[in-house]
Chains A and B, each alone.
Chain A
């Protein structure tokens, strides 16, 4: 983990209200695992005050090493970000948190993404391909077709992509969790045959995916989002409620920090 000075080299809208920002900087030794994140300081002033957490994907071109960030303009911070020009310097703290875990023996990966949840899963998909996971199935949901990201990219990698849109403009008309449920009904995947489920998206979508994974006896890792001030485990602001582990927890409530114990958790740990 270190604090580096990076520079924006690209910052443009790639889908409605969804921007891609590419950063350059001293990134040669910056190794980030899929699921880990960075904290980005949005300028030099106190407004917005806090850094923002982002998933990022490192990539190399003949021009150098870069970090990819995809963000949706949802609030004040991302609104300001969307107006930043190439050349702007941003302080970047990372890599932070715990990423996705999988072993080389994994044979099937079921990827479930809602909206911008596909972003941290994209890096995971690359890693899975690299490590030789034979069967990768991607389930992505969005409000509408225009918000489905990376479709051609995944199709170009010969990975089956199952789409769901809430307005029915492409793929299954409804929620991605419904589509995923149908798939599980028709296929015999479970923990015994080295299958793992990986999910990221809005909280209700993750809760549903977590309960499906329990019903179908699939191990499931979820990447959570939270308001966060420091990213390094000291502010305790990003806490999420964890399930009590029966006897030795007594009546104590239990919280986990998204920035240290997460952002990737075993779905069974979370008190949904």
Chain B
């Protein structure tokens, strides 16, 4: 038997594979296709204080090896989630993370308080990285100072474990990571999508209604991996890696780079049972390599004979 259990701070996961926010709905949508109990965790779609309609169509566009989205965080609101979705999610033995976002610090604080009263939540993932809303979201994640201030305020409002989701649009993502760590974050997840765009050359118009949108999918994986590697060396809280993971080997790369766990996002669209396949692949890999505990892999990147170009 191989041990695939990991911990994100005080949150135990039976395996390191978590379904990423915005790609897995409220989890329940996948139950006809996948036994949710098999997953390490689920991060539900980003929730706001009040229901949010999202952006006008067109909202997505496929690009080479990836996709752009500008959903604009359409969601049912925190109260409907607690009333309608959470009771059903409690039937599963899987860590539920609730992704939250707001336009102001006060909104983040109020959602965090509201969720603190609910039962069955393993932790909050604080979205300071969505590129598709005008106010709030990513604007908090680009500036270390803003990110720190927001973390500090949410920290005071809840005792739930806080995972801060970072944006690759920050000029120095490691700096943001260190700052939120200093203000009481329990873990960090990175990266959210990269800001991108696509143009219809026949009409010379943008292919997304909001002109730009977030790029995800295998196309971003090498950049995401590099960022996870850099951040993991600079902070001592757990790092959860994501960005284009679409196979167990992709997942292992992030763990070897220093991630305690991984999130699988866009790949759930291509293959709704992707998370299960990744978990299976990881187990087979560990068996084949005679590694009895996955924790041995975390941060095991062997740099002997390599030189880093920085400094």
Instruction: List B32-63 residues whose CB lies under 8 Å from chain A.
Output: 32-33, 45, 51, 53-54, 56-62
Instruction: List A226-272 residues whose CB lies under 8 Å from chain B.
Output: 226-230, 232-241, 252-255
Chain B residues with CB under 8 Å of A237's CB are 59-60, 69, 71
Chain A residues with CB under 8 Å of B71's CB are 235-237, 239
Partner of B57, one of A93, A229, A232, A241: A241
Cβ A230 vs Cβ B269 within 8 A: yes
Cβ B268 vs Cβ A230 within 8 A: yes
Chain B residues with CB under 8 Å of A238's CB are 57, 59-60
Partner of A229, one of B30, B60, B246: B60
Cβ A46 vs Cβ B217 within 8 A: yes
Instruction: List B3-31 residues whose CB lies under 8 Å from chain A.
Output: 22-25, 29-30
Partner of B62, one of A49, A236, A240: A49
Contact with B along A203-226 (1 / 0, CB 8 A): 000000000000000000000001
Q: Looking across the interface, which residue of chain B has its beta carbon closest to that of A91?
A: B271
Contact with A along B53-79 (1 / 0, CB 8 A): 110111111101111010100100000
Any A CB within 8 A of the CB of B184: no
Chain A residues with CB under 8 Å of B217's CB are 46, 49
Q: CA separation between A160 and B255, bound complex, in Å?
A: 64
Chain A residues with CB under 8 Å of B51's CB are 252
Q: Looking across the interface, which residue of chain A has its beta carbon closest to that of B60?
A: A237
Chain B residues with CB under 8 Å of A229's CB are 60, 67, 69, 266, 269
Q: Looking across the interface, which residue of chain B has its beta carbon closest to that of A239?
A: B57
Cβ A3 vs Cβ B69 within 8 A: no
Expressed in whole angstroms, the minimum distance between the Cβ of A93 and any Cβ of chain B is 7
Chain A residues with CB under 8 Å of B159's CB are none
Q: CA separation between A253 and B74, bound complex, in Å?
A: 11
Chain A residues with CB under 8 Å of B45's CB are 234
Contact with A along B128-161 (1 / 0, CB 8 A): 0000000000000000000000000000000000
> Taking chain A's interface residues, is the majority helix, strand, or loop, or is none over half, making it mixed?
loop
Cβ A3 vs Cβ B56 within 8 A: no
Cβ A41 vs Cβ B270 within 8 A: yes
Q: CA separation between A47 and B29, bound complex, in Å?
A: 26
Partner of B270, one of A2, A49, A233: A49
A-B contact count (CB 8 A): 102
Q: CA separation between A228 and B218, bound complex, in Å?
A: 18
Q: Looking across the interface, which residue of chain A has its beta carbon closest to that of B27?
A: A234
Any A CB within 8 A of the CB of B171: no
Any A CB within 8 A of the CB of B281: no
Q: Looking across the interface, which residue of chain A has its beta carbon closest to that of B217?
A: A49
Any B CB within 8 A of the CB of A1: yes
Chain A residues with CB under 8 Å of B60's CB are 227-229, 235, 237-238
Most B C-beta atoms less than 10 A away, residue of A2, A91, A227: A227
Q: CA separation between A240 and B17, bound complex, in Å?
A: 32
Q: CA separation between A227 and B57, bound complex, in Å?
A: 9
Q: CA separation between A232 and B34, bound complex, in Å?
A: 13
Given A227-B60, A236-B59, A254-B53 contact (CB < 8 Å): yes
Instruction: List A108-139 residues whose CB lies under 8 Å from chain B.
Output: none
Known: A227-B59, A234-B23, A237-B60. 13 other contacts (CB 8 A): A2-B32, A46-B246, A49-B66, A49-B67, A226-B57, A227-B61, A229-B60, A229-B266, A232-B272, A233-B29, A234-B45, A238-B57, A239-B59
9 CB < 8 A contacts A-B: A2-B33, A93-B272, A227-B58, A230-B272, A238-B60, A252-B53, A255-B53, A255-B54, A255-B74
